[in-house]
């Protein structure tokens, strides 16, 4: 997407970890709307891009950078995002947008007061078949929803200790992607009624569980989630309606109706495809109109699951990549 006045917006990335390297940096390189002008990284950032150790140092040195995209873990995002908004910069937040709902409400209020844009992103909503699924469901009566969100944390999040610390969400780090799609495509509102969550004895966040939701007419959604699922990940929602059964597979990439593929391509490597191009295109649109977009419904479902959950013990979780590190050290 090219901006109407032809100039690229200077943007900084905060936190150069897995998602910054895998998705944000390539998406920014492909975008005409943005120019990656600096990073904030404790560990050096990216070769050839100016780096600052703290958000405050960046804000002081680079008044020309008008947008800041945060890719840090949710537990450490608030202070930097607040400082950026306070300094009149537009802010984009990775999912989940913060460690708590109240934190994000506070950022939303600050963005409004300062007259800048806050974009709480949900990358899975930009998966290829999500708009088609939303359109197909819009005139259907929903009978049931079955979500399976199962992946191997040792493959997809090696060494990420923050996931297992309070605020890191554990299995809800990926499951919130399922809930972001669910709240986007369903023509009815749902609310959590109960959950069973399994917590490893050495972790502060859950590794697996089941979450149940109702719509106003009764039970509707069952989600089974598992962070120790071996083999190909299962990122699937099956929605039974009065007009047929819709299956959204590969995290929203592929849509089937009654077993027939309708839309999207199955990827050999079932990672994220094209979603971050969509996110940055949307951020550019929001900046053109100086508008915020903060939809907290996926985060409300996760918070309610924690509130209502029965807690069960699970075996200790050992991250093999950290064991290798400690042996190497």
Binding site for ligand NAP (CB under 6 A): 15-20, 41-43, 71-74, 76, 94-95, 123, 156-157, 160, 162, 173
Task: Give dist(CA 203, CA 166) in Å, integer.
Answer: 9
**Closest separation in Å from C-beta 25 to ligand NAP:** 11
Helical spans, DSSP H, in the chain: 18-19, 25-30, 55-61, 78-86, 101-114, 130-137, 153-156, 172-185, 275-288, 297-308, 320-328
**Closest separation in Å from C-beta 220 to ligand NAP:** 26
Q: Do residues 249 and 256 make contact, with C-beta atoms less than 8 angstroms apart?
A: yes
**Closest separation in Å from C-beta 240 to ligand NAP:** 29
C-beta of 90 vs 157, nearer to ligand NAP: 157
C-beta of 162 vs 164, nearer to ligand NAP: 162
**Closest separation in Å from C-beta 304 to ligand NAP:** 19
**Closest separation in Å from C-beta 177 to ligand NAP:** 7
Q: Do residues 58 and 91 make contact, with C-beta atoms less than 8 angstroms apart?
A: no
Our answer to whether residue 53 is catalytic in this structure is no
Burial (Cβ within 10 Å: 0-12, 13-18, ≥19) of residue 258: exposed
Angle at 287 between CA 73 and CA 76, to 5 degrees: 15
Contacts of 293 (CB under 8 A, 6+ apart): 117, 118, 119, 120, 282, 286
Length of the chain: 329
Q: Do residues 40 and 53 make contact, with C-beta atoms less than 8 angstroms apart?
A: yes
Tell me the three state secondary structure of residue 302: helix
Q: How many other C-beta atoms are found inside a 10 Å radius of the C-beta of residue 64?
A: 8
**Closest separation in Å from C-beta 298 to ligand NAP:** 12
Catalytic residue from among 95, 114, 150, 310: 95
Task: Give dist(CA 107, CA 100) in Å, integer.
Answer: 11
C-beta of 257 vs 281, nearer to ligand NAP: 281
Task: Give dist(CA 95, CA 205) in Å, integer.
Answer: 17
Bridge partners for 239 per DSSP: 145, 246
Omega before residue 95 within 30° of 0, cis: no
Q: Do residues 157 and 283 make contact, with C-beta atoms less than 8 angstroms apart?
A: no
C-beta of 157 vs 236, nearer to ligand NAP: 157
**Closest separation in Å from C-beta 276 to ligand NAP:** 9
Q: How many other C-beta atoms are found inside a 10 Å radius of the C-beta of residue 44?
A: 10
Residue nearest to ligand NAP (CB): 17
Active site residues: 95
């Amino acid at each position: 997407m090219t901006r109407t006045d032809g100039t690229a917006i200077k943007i900084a990335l905060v936190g150069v970890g897995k998602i910054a390297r895998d998705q944000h940096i390539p998406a920014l390189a492909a975008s005409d709307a943005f120019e990656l002008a600096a990073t904030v990284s404790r560990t050096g950032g990216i070769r050839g891009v100016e780096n600052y150790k703290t958000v405050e140092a960046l804000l002081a040195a680079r008044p020309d950078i008008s947008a800041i995209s945060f890719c840090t873990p949710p537990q450490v995002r608030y202070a930097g995002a607040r400082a950026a908004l306070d300094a009149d910069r537009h802010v984009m937040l990775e999912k989940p947008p913060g460690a708590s709902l109240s934190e994000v409400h506070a950022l939303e209020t600050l963005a409004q007061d300062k007259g800048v844009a806050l974009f709480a992103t949900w990358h899975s909503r930009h998966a290829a078949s999500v708009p088609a699924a939303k359109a197909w469901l819009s005139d259907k009566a929903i009978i049931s929803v079955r979500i399976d969100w199962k992946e191997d944390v040792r493959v997809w999040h090696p060494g990420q200790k923050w996931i297992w610390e309070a605020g890191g969400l554990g299995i809800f780090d990926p499951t919130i992607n399922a809930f972001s799609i669910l709240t986007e495509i369903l023509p009815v509102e749902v609310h959590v009624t109960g959950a069973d969550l399994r917590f490893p004895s050495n972790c502060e966040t859950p590794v697996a569980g089941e979450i149940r939701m109702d719509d106003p007419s009764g039970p509707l959604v069952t989600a089974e989630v598992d962070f120790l699922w071996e083999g190909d990940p299962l990122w699937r929602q099956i929605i039974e309606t009065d007009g047929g059964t819709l299956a959204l597979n590969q995290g929203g990439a592929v849509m089937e109706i009654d077993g027939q593929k309708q839309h999207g391509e199955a990827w050999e490597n079932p990672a994220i495809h094209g979603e971050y191009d969509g996110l940055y295109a949307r951020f550019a649109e929001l900046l053109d109109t100086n508008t915020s977009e903060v939809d907290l419904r996926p985060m409300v479902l996760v918070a309610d699951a924690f509130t209502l959950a029965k807690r069960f013990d699970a075996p200790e979780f050992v991250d093999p990549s950290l064991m290798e590190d400690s042996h190497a050290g």
